[in-house]
């Protein structure tokens, strides 16, 4: 290991130095070392990328498509993305001015925060949620206003948002993910209208992460951008819908004035995405618009199985409208510290879960059902046995 010259340790950016790397990867490594564990921790599809998309990638390489592409994305991809958003969610975006391609939604989140935030600006983030929003906002100098949603079915209510926006005139943006990670909860048409009504009365942006839009189970996905096109910065992609997390393609769609500014950040970070992943993404958005259907059916079966299993165990959980997570309350007869509980469950029940604390909800655990039905059945049986034993311990003591 090369060590740094003494005196340079504190010369880096203060916020970066204070930001801890994600603990999730280290925890996953620790859990995986438990013999015969069923790992239900991953936040990515367990399916393969559809064949026609892989072929498009191969063909792109064979065509020697190996030069710097336009920074905002190839014309083919931008136009495929615009027509996908139109066909799927009835959104009107001009591919030449209103869309930008990023390295996954992860880069999109950073680009948007960097574009919007001046030091000290406030960003409203309903909790629990994907932790990258707050980390990216803080790295860009923002301050976070958390709103707890636990008392409201894990969805932000229009009343709570109105109170926060009325009291905090320095709010720059509100971040909403629907369906959300870790809860799978999604906003319906009426809830979207109510929130849009509140936001439209303030000069704030809505950053809407709709990466799980194709994984909504009992109704169609409704986009916030439909209700609030002039204020919404929409983020979506192919990671979850087309089982393409490793291709790293996300999109941002928003009014042209904001896209042209986000493009400045994107170009500095990335120059452009790889040609090959953009060719694959263009294929996904144009000829794969229903690729998610069979995966969605499979996830729905798994979700329904888990709903019955957790009801049988008498464990409270958030109703999962979408995504592939079951977010449940640690029963009161167990250790409420989610990290300790995850470790105990891994050792004693051989099931790998993710602590709720990492998403802003201590006392909860996240189970990912991006796993085979056989694994889910084994995990449910093991968890049931574990919880019965824990309950007995309390009753006997």
Ligand X SMILES: Cc1ncc(COP(=O)(O)O)c(C=O)c1O
Q: How far apart are CA 311 and CA 126, in angstroms?
A: 27
Per-residue x/- marks for ligand X, 126-155, CB under 6 A?
----x-------------------------
What DSSP state is assigned to residue 274?
Answer: -
The yes or no reply on residue 250 touching ligand X (CB under 6 A) is: yes
- Segment near ligand X (CB under 6 A), from 12-20, 99-107, 147-155, 289-297? 99-107
The yes or no reply on residue 104 touching ligand X (CB under 6 A) is: yes
The yes or no reply on residue 105 touching ligand X (CB under 6 A) is: yes
**Choice between 125 and 342, CB closer to ligand X:** 125
The yes or no reply on residue 241 touching ligand X (CB under 6 A) is: no
User: What's the start-to-end Cα distance of the chain, in Å?
Assistant: 51
Tokens of 145: 């206003």
Contacts of 50-54 spanning 24+ positions with Cβ under 8 A: 50/242, 50/243, 50/284, 50/288, 50/291, 52/283, 52/287, 52/288, 53/242, 53/244, 53/280, 53/283, 53/284, 53/288, 53/291, 54/280
Nearest approach, Cβ of residue 212 and ligand X (Å): 7
Q: Which of 74, 239, 338, 368 binds ligand X (CB under 6 A)?
A: 239
The yes or no reply on residue 237 touching ligand X (CB under 6 A) is: yes
Q: How far apart are CA 10 and CA 92, in angstroms?
A: 48
Q: Which of 49, 181, 223, 231 binds ligand X (CB under 6 A)?
A: 181
Beta carbons within 10 angstroms of residue 138's beta carbon: 18
- Segment near ligand X (CB under 6 A), from 100-108, 135-143, 160-168, 288-296? 100-108
- Segment near ligand X (CB under 6 A), from 46-54, 102-110, 158-166, 380-388? 102-110
Tokens of 23: 């603990």
- CB proximity list for 1: less than 8 A, separation 6 or greater: none
Count residues near ligand X (CB under 6 A): 13
Tokens of 136: 């990216």
**Choice between 238 and 315, CB closer to ligand X:** 238
Nearest approach, Cβ of residue 250 and ligand X (Å): 5
Q: Which of 209, 214, 283, 298 binds ligand X (CB under 6 A)?
A: 209
- Within 337-396, which residues bind ligand X (CB under 6 A)? none
Tokens of 160: 């709570």
Beta carbons within 10 angstroms of residue 34's beta carbon: 18
- Within 19-78, which residues bind ligand X (CB under 6 A)? 43
Q: Are strands 232-237 and 250-253 parallel, antiparallel or unpaired?
A: antiparallel
The yes or no reply on residue 306 touching ligand X (CB under 6 A) is: no
Point out which residues bind ligand X (CB under 6 A). 43, 104-106, 130, 177, 181, 209, 211, 237, 239, 245, 250
């Amino acid at each position: 290991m090369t060590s740094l010259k003494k005196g340079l340790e504190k010369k880096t950016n203060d916020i970066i130095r204070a930001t801890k790397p994600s603990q999730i990867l280290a925890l996953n490594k620790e859990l995986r070392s438990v013999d015969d564990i069923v790992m239900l921790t991953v936040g990515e599809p367990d399916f393969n990328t559809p064949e026609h998309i892989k072929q498009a990638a191969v063909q792109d390489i064979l065509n020697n498509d190996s030069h710097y592409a336009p920074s905002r994305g190839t014309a083919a991809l931008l136009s495929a993305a615009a027509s996908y958003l139109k066909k799927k969610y009835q959104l009107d975006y001009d591919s030449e001015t209103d869309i930008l391609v990023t390295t996954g939604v992860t880069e999109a989140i950073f680009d948007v925060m960097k574009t919007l935030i001046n030091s000290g600006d406030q960003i409203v983030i309903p909790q629990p949620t994907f932790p990258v929003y707050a980390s990216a906002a803080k790295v860009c100098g923002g301050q976070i206003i958390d709103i707890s949603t636990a008392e409201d079915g894990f969805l932000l209510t229009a009343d709570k948002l109105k109170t926060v926006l009325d009291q905090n005139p320095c709010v720059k943006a509100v971040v909403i993910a629907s369906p959300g990670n870790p809860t799978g909860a999604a906003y319906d048409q009426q809830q979207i209208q109510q929130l849009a009504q509140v936001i439209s009365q303030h000069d704030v942006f809505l950053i809407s992460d709709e990466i799980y839009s194709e994984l909504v189970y009992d109704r169609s996905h409704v986009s916030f951008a439909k209700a609030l096109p002039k204020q919404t910065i929409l983020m979506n992609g192919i990671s979850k819908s087309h089982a393409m997390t490793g291709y790293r393609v996300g999109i941002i769609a928003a009014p042209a004035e904001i896209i042209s500014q986000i493009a400045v950040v994107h170009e500095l970070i990335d120059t452009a995405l790889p040609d090959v992943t953009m060719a694959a993404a263009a294929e996904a958005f144009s000829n794969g618009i229903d690729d998610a259907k069979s995966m969605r059916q499979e996830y729905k079966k798994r979700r329904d199985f888990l709903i019955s299993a957790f009801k049988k165990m008498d464990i409270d959980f958030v109703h999962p409208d979408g995504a592939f997570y079951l977010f449940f309350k640690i029963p009161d007869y167990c250790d409420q510290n989610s990290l300790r509980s995850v470790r105990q469950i891994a050792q004693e029940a051989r099931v790998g879960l993710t602590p709720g604390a990492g998403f802003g909800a201590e006392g909860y655990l996240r189970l990912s059902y991006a796993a085979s039905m056989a694994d889910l059945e084994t995990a449910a049986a093991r968890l049931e046995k574990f919880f019965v034993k824990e309950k007995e311990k309390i009753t006997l003591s």
